[in-house]
Structure 1
């Protein structure tokens, strides 16, 4: 077979494999949408539903409040509001429409994970990562939940793909769009905000050119600012103060300040700000440094990553036999995260995984928080698998 025929055959295999993966991903997600009986809304999902209806009928954004506030960033409520506006909510919230649209976003996320894998190394890495993402039970199930995870992961994977392109071949348009999608991600879940600088720190150390680095970073900031500016202006006009992200930070930090949840039912009443929580944590470290250090490292880490977020009634056995996939991806993914520190092509993906985990260790731990880090670990796992099984230069 000549080289041209080999190229055509290889391209056909890649396209056919990707199409099959996408079909499987869509089938599984719609299976969960149409076959799983959803429980009544509760917790965050119920609060989002109330907030969106309040916004559409009264015209202000207020989470768990009858008045405007900035307790959470507005990205996901506005996403829901658009769907509620289109499909109507006078006869009940259009939750099935939300689930279908989120399923489509989740499938598109699988596609972008493939594209990222292809960019960081080759088609094999992309296909392996896309396959894991298509069948990973949490990704499939989460599409049915009225929560931020699925939409955030989509916008963040688009951002990550654009960031990789911008890092390799910077240009005004790709840099600005990188900032736009990072801004969209932060409007949905603000915890990742600090990582915007990571690729440009690495860019500076790679090229040793501060003007080149700053020029590219400023274009990213331009796109980011364009998305965030309406939120900042709204907070100044409505709340009479500049709130860059959200005002709820102190609450989840406080929930994580009780080692192994001991004493969490007796929260001091005088803690009402992030600074109050920090002082409370510092006192804990002064009193029991080893105990608190263990809690803020391996204690919380084990809770976040030790089990898969898959809270589904046992009568729905779909994908439950893939539970061990989570442990496999954890082991290989974290190996890849530390290996990435010496590989330029995946370095900031590994650094993202590490920094985002360190950020989550500041707050109350739950395995739900692993969700947004999993795509990074899947990409790193796929890179390691390709390196071990297919790389002739190993």
Structure 2
């Protein structure tokens, strides 16, 4: 009876703590939506707005183009199109509605980060990770931007939660659903596509049962393919060729091919494909191997993770007093990423953080690219804190 009462009290405390964390998350995001004056759309945000209106009025997807293309994957434009369709755009784009929906998705992301932390270790890890995610300034501010980050991170965290369950308690329907969510995430941002195999490489290393591993992976692959097929068919029918994800890859890769941005203003005009960029990078390594190696490792890493992506106008002082939270998560989170290599329960999350970073090192570096990796580092940091504070040995 005493044990049951303690368990009930613990569950009650966890539930109350989670509700408080989610309430804080919702309050802060709505504070930014309703109190911060948003600048006019520019850059990618403006291009998405134009693309969506063009899709709803002319019926085709074309990014920065008056004709169909596959320069970007369709996930985020279709998300925006749904909101534009519901709220209308004849009197202007319904950007406030987009921000409100994204804020809600951001709060739900906090919830799934809690669930992931709880699933890989315990409720303490889940609550710590959720609290950090609730107050991390970038996550709050980004909800107001007409960019892919918030929607992608939500879908990816749902996938990650399902993937954790699929590794621990695999069932056919969970595996297929995992593949579907992974496909939805890739349709928003395709960079993580190669990671689909990582959990199942680890599964085979753990159990050495090839048939078991292949069966589970194929079920995930079915879900992924089912999600991607409409995009593939559209590209074949409309563009007359199979484009798996998007065609923009070569452009950001080229931007990252100039060490420390030296010479970036003199981009060769004959480079128009990923193959051309790779040849250009190889020539650079042949000419100055140490210089290029430094750029493609610590050089880009310092730019991506060295500062928090938080370009809020300085007149708004919201959350600037916890700016150092980024440095804290970076230090402890990367410790957790490397510690995960010897701890199976968090190994694939740590590998995801490492591999996603390696993928980003291929492209032009910006601290915006850290956004989708930070939830993984937050979970890993919370895991390490739990180990250090609540366990006798690590």
Q: TM-score, normalised by structure 2?
A: 0.99
Partner of 1:34: 34
Partner of 1:143: 143
Partner of 1:58: 58
Partner of 1:275: 275
Partner of 2:172: 172
Q: What is the CA–CA distance in structure 1 between the aligned matches of 2:9 and 2:109, rounded to whole Å?
A: 26
Partner of 2:96: 96
Query: 1:72 aligned to 2:80?
Result: no
Partner of 2:365: 365
Q: Deviations over 1:43-97 (max 9, x none)?
A: 0000000000000000000000000000000000000000000000000000000
Partner of 2:134: 134
Partner of 2:215: 215
Q: Deviations over 1:160-206 (max 9, x none)?
A: 00000000011011000000100000000000000000000001111
Q: What is the CA–CA distance in structure 2 between the aligned matches of 1:389 and 1:45, rounded to whole Å?
A: 43
Partner of 2:308: 308
Q: What is the CA–CA distance in structure 2 between the aligned matches of 1:130 and 1:31, rounded to whole Å?
A: 19
Q: What is the CA–CA distance in structure 1 between the aligned matches of 2:341 and 2:393, rounded to whole Å?
A: 19
Partner of 2:17: 17
Partner of 1:255: 255
Instruction: Give the secondary structure class of the aligned counterpart of 1:45.
Output: helix
Within-5 A mapping of 1:223-238: 223-238=223-238
1:6 CA drift (Å): 1.1
Partner of 2:202: 202
Partner of 1:356: 356
Partner of 2:108: 108
Moved over 6 A (4+): none
Q: What is the CA–CA distance in structure 2 between the aligned matches of 1:5 and 1:269, rounded to whole Å?
A: 71
1:277 CA drift (Å): 0.3
Q: What is the CA–CA distance in structure 2 between the aligned matches of 1:124 and 1:359, rounded to whole Å?
A: 31
Query: 1:296 aligned to 2:296?
Result: yes
Q: What is the CA–CA distance in structure 2 between the aligned matches of 1:189 and 1:289, rounded to whole Å?
A: 31
Query: 1:391 aligned to 2:388?
Result: no
Q: What is the CA–CA distance in structure 2 between the aligned matches of 1:36 and 1:142, rounded to whole Å?
A: 12
Instruction: Give the secondary structure class of the aligned counterpart of 1:78.
Output: helix
Q: How many residues align?
A: 394
Q: What is the CA–CA distance in structure 1 between the aligned matches of 2:186 and 2:11, rounded to whole Å?
A: 36
1:265 CA drift (Å): 0.5
Instruction: Give the secondary structure class of the aligned counterpart of 1:107.
Output: helix
Q: Deviations over 1:131-167 (max 9, x none)?
A: 0000000000000000000000000000000000000
Instruction: Give the secondary structure class of the aligned counterpart of 1:316.
Output: coil
Q: What is the CA–CA distance in structure 2 between the aligned matches of 1:105 and 1:331, rounded to whole Å?
A: 27
Q: What is the CA–CA distance in structure 1 between the aligned matches of 2:144 and 2:113, rounded to whole Å?
A: 20
* Structure 2 portions without partners, runs of 5+: none
1:392 CA drift (Å): 2.9
Q: What is the CA–CA distance in structure 1 between the aligned matches of 2:89 and 2:227, rounded to whole Å?
A: 28
Q: Deviations over 1:107-149 (max 9, x none)?
A: 0000000000000000000000000000000000000000000
1:393 CA drift (Å): 4.1
Q: What is the CA–CA distance in structure 2 between the aligned matches of 1:392 and 1:10, rounded to whole Å?
A: 21
Q: What is the CA–CA distance in structure 1 between the aligned matches of 2:123 and 2:196, rounded to whole Å?
A: 27
Q: What is the CA–CA distance in structure 1 between the aligned matches of 2:12 and 2:217, rounded to whole Å?
A: 38
Query: 1:161 aligned to 2:161?
Result: yes
Q: TM-score, normalised by structure 1?
A: 0.99
Q: What is the CA–CA distance in structure 1 between the aligned matches of 2:145 and 2:179, rounded to whole Å?
A: 27
Q: Deviations over 1:223-268 (max 9, x none)?
A: 1011100000000000000000000100000000000100001000
Q: Deviations over 1:27-46 (max 9, x none)?
A: 00000000000000000000
